[in-house]
Amino acid sequence: MIELTKPAVRPANPRFSSGPCSKRPGHSLEFLKQAFLGRSHRAAEGKARLKRAIDRTAEILGVPEDYRVAIVPASDTGAMEMALWSLLGQRGVDILAWESFGKGWASDIFKQLKLDDARVLEADYGALPDLASVDFARDVVFTWNGTTSGVRVPDGDWIAADREGLTICDATSAAFAQRLDWPKLDVTTFSWQKALGGEAAHGMLVLSPRAVERLESYTPPWPLPKIFRLTKDGKLMDGVFRGETINTPSMLCTEDWLDALGWAESVGGIDGLIARADANAGVIADWVGRTGWAAFLAEAPDIRSNTSVCVKIVDPAVTALGAEARLAFVKSMAALLEGEKAAYDITAHRDAPPGLRIWAGATVETSDMEALMPWLDWAFEAAKAELAKAA
């Protein structure tokens, strides 16, 4: 190993994973001692806590009064698949896919639901598909923030206000860090494990009145597992949206979510959360501006994520390598950073081009992000020195 001078300061918290994401600053299991454990989630207090989790989530996110919010099984994947299976098939669908998760929803729709009238609008890692060519007479499925490419939609202005179809939005790495345009969203999903650092396995589903109207007026031709069912005898199962979950939730995870929401309120609610994520992403942008070896994967600043920030390596010694060697280089950088307890889990997603992905959401302290930057340069130089030695 070639010795290079290591930065003097390490991030106090080296957790920059894009999911599960870092817990909120000051998180402690002590706060979970009051969890409603060993009791039925259908007892009055259990239901009250689940309802509180729903109500406070809606309040912080600014969800309109006439929308419905539920806690659902199987995290964001569960919430999205519940929506796709329950709502699609009534009309054609446009799917926007510009990274791994959008492609996954397209695969569900083509290969599992086997919809005939489905169209994918695609773009490569780093870009967005042409938003102007989306047809809002059809249903539209998209990801607000593509976690694996660090590319997000700039806003909701491209979505027709007078659409005939429904918009179904996977917002799991956008919620609590980016401003969601609620009137433009009919179905919105996210998981607890992302931007507020909650626990895995629980998801949330937000429905507009138009989505509810579709649920109550349309029955899909395929079978629906119990875990996906939101209606009974053609009527919305109201209780699900008041905390009477479809199956048994974890009251420990619920308590942790309530704790995360309390912290979110303490930093100024949605405005404070967005400001924190923006500040973190700004630290990375400043660093990218001064470093010679890294560049954003996202091509344009207005589509650049402030949560899952993805950078590629543009140093000629690395770009000249084959795909496998490039991946090995990035992995060796990540291993060096992990060994130094400077950063955990920052290699790009396995489906994305080799690079780094740094979570910049609100639970990350800006001082930690600042401390991380010199370590990235150190790891790059150390990995490059190893590469030169091996050559």
Ligand X SMILES: Cc1ncc(COP(=O)(O)O)c(C=O)c1O
Residues contributing to the site for ligand X (CB under 6 A)? 19, 75-77, 101, 143, 147, 170, 172-173, 191, 193
Nearer to ligand X, 143 or 167 (CB): 143
Nearer to ligand X, 172 or 306 (CB): 172
Q: Residue 104 CB, nearest distance to ligand X (Å)? A: 7
Candidates 199, 272, 193; CA nearest to 18 is 193
Q: Are 271 and 43 in contact (CB under 8 A)?
A: no
Q: Residue 271 CB, nearest distance to ligand X (Å)? A: 23
Q: Residue 75 CB, nearest distance to ligand X (Å)? A: 3
In terms of residues, how long is the chain? Answer: 391
Nearer to ligand X, 115 or 141 (CB): 141
Per-residue DSSP letter, 240: G
Nearer to ligand X, 177 or 379 (CB): 177
Spatial distance between the Cα atoms of 106 and 150, rounded to a whole number of angstroms: 19
Q: Residue 323 CB, nearest distance to ligand X (Å)? A: 23
Helix axes 251-266, 44-61, angle to 10 degrees: 30
Q: Residue 151 CB, nearest distance to ligand X (Å)? A: 11
Candidates 256, 77, 262, 275; CA nearest to 172 is 77
Q: Are 220 and 89 in contact (CB under 8 A)?
A: yes
Nearer to ligand X, 46 or 146 (CB): 146
Q: Identify the burial level of 191 via C-beta atoms within 10 angstroms of its C-beta, where 0-12 means exposed, 13-18 middle and 19 or more buried.
A: buried
Q: Evaluate the CA torsion angle 146, 147, 148, 151 in order and state its sign.
A: positive
Nearer to ligand X, 176 or 380 (CB): 176
Q: Residue 199 has which token pair?
A: 């626990």
Candidates 207, 211, 170; CA nearest to 189 is 170
Q: Residue 10 CB, nearest distance to ligand X (Å)? A: 26
